[in-house]
Amino acid sequence: MAETSYFWDNAGTGDSPALGYGHTEMMTEVFRMLLNGTDNQGVLKGWLLELEPVDAGGLDVKVYRGGAIVYGFFYESDDEETITMPDDDTNHIVVRCSWAAQTVRLTTVAALVQTIGVTWDIPIAEVTTVGGDITVLTDEREFCEYSADMLHGIVTSDYITADAITTAILEDETRWLCSAALQPDETDTPSWQNVTHISYGATKHSGWAMVTGAERAVWWTFLVPSDFSGTDLELYVRSVPLHLASPGFDVVWDWAAQVAAPSAAFAAQSGSYVASQDGRSWGGGAYRDHIDTLTVAAGDLVRLRVARDGTDGLDTETHTVLLIAVEVEYVGDS
């Protein structure tokens, strides 16, 4: 293949052709260089209003201002164009390049034509009409792709085409919501308590004091996240007993929830869990107990009440337990 270079001022000198340059060189060299091939046609991203098609009422489609490359020819419309569609039919709005007419124009066709040197169409919209009205308008625009050397690690266009990445393809993952901003129950009201480390005089733990021999409760209101999948929302409490480690103690955690979908009535759920305190002490950390499972859907409103029932015979912990936080764990769409 012969070597050549572009573009030179003096026709007939060096690589400059004797008759100078024309549109062929512009199409085959410049647009191929920038757009990765002369047949890489499409709407120009960010150019005016990108030739967006919209329903204008009746059989009319309005195509906003924009620009495009049609097999190497540049096209621009600097004003809105109104295209009237045939009735009771399905047709396409295209930008059509005609070599014979030497024009590029918006028009309607039953099917795209792409014949080099004769007629070349790029799609804008597919429109179905029934009884004098547009019933379906599908945006069919494709945007120009520019030549570039993608750096290592960058996701290429092969992986971001339509439906290349979906929640069905990606693995779901575990996620968490955690709240320490809990509201005390108006009737069974716990007090807020700070526990100071004896040796250092600094606060070791802060939380709601769930005392022995009584019921104390807190509330948490939240929306189930939109990325929630499945039906199970796992419920946890984080707490700390205010004593040194010793075996044989249990705490009874009761919970009750009101769950409602948007514009729906609340439905009740409840349960109880006995959490062993063996080996736990106030100097350890916030211990995590899985107390039950809520049945919910994405977008549900949840009003959750969590209580220590110190009056239950199964609650044998003789010391106050600090409730540090309530947490839910769920599987979310990736």
Q: Which string of DSSP letters, residue by residue, matches 146-207?
A: ----PPTTPPPGGGSSTTSS-TTTSPPEEEEEEE--PEEPSSSPPEEEEEE-TTT-SEEEEE
Residue 134 has pLDDT above 60, yes or no: yes
- Signed CA dihedral, 179, 181, 187, 189: sign only: positive
Give the range among 141-155, 216-230, 307-321 with minimum mean pLDDT: 141-155
Confidence of residue 203 (pLDDT cuts 50, 70, 90): low
Strands 114-115 and 103-109, sheet pairing: unpaired
Asked if domains 42-148 and 173-332 share a fold, the reply is: no
Q: What angle do CA 193, 180, 316 make, to 5 degrees?
A: 55
pLDDT category of residue 212 using cuts at 50, 70 and 90:
very high
Percent of the chain with pLDDT over 90: 57
pLDDT (tens digit per residue) in 262-281: 999 999 999 999 999 988 88
Q: Give the mean model confidence (pLDDT) for residues 193-214.
A: 76
At the topology level, CATH places domain 173-332 in: Jelly Rolls (2.60.120)
Considering the chain, what percentage of its residues have pLDDT values greater than 70? 86
Look up tokens 């270079």; give the residue: 5
- How many angstroms separate the CA atoms of 276 and 261, rounded? 35
The answer to whether the beta carbons of residues 125 and 93 sit under 8 Å apart is yes
- Mean of pLDDT values over 300-323: 95
pLDDT at position 334: 65
Lowest mean pLDDT among 102-111, 131-140, 145-154, 185-194: 145-154
Which one has a higher pLDDT value, 80 or 202? 80
User: pLDDT band at 243, cuts 50/70/90?
Assistant: confident
Q: How confident is the model at residue 74 (pLDDT cuts 50, 70, 90)?
A: confident
pTM here? Answer: 0.51
- Mean pLDDT estimate for the chain: 87
- Cα radius of gyration (the chain): 35
CA neighbor of 252 nearest in space, from 184, 294, 311, 192: 311
Domain 42-148 in CATH 2.60.520.10: yes
Length of the chain: 334
- pLDDT bin (cut points 50, 70, 90) of residue 168 is low
- What residue segments make up the domains of the chain, in order of their start? 42-148, 173-332
Closest CA to 42 of 147, 145, 159: 145
Q: Tell me the pLDDT tens digit for each residue of 90-110.
A: 999 999 999 899 999 999 999
* Contact (Cβ atoms closer than 8 angstroms) between residue 41 and residue 69: yes
Half-sphere exposure of 307 (CA within 13 A, CB side): 22
Band of the pLDDT at 332, cuts 50, 70, 90?
Answer: confident
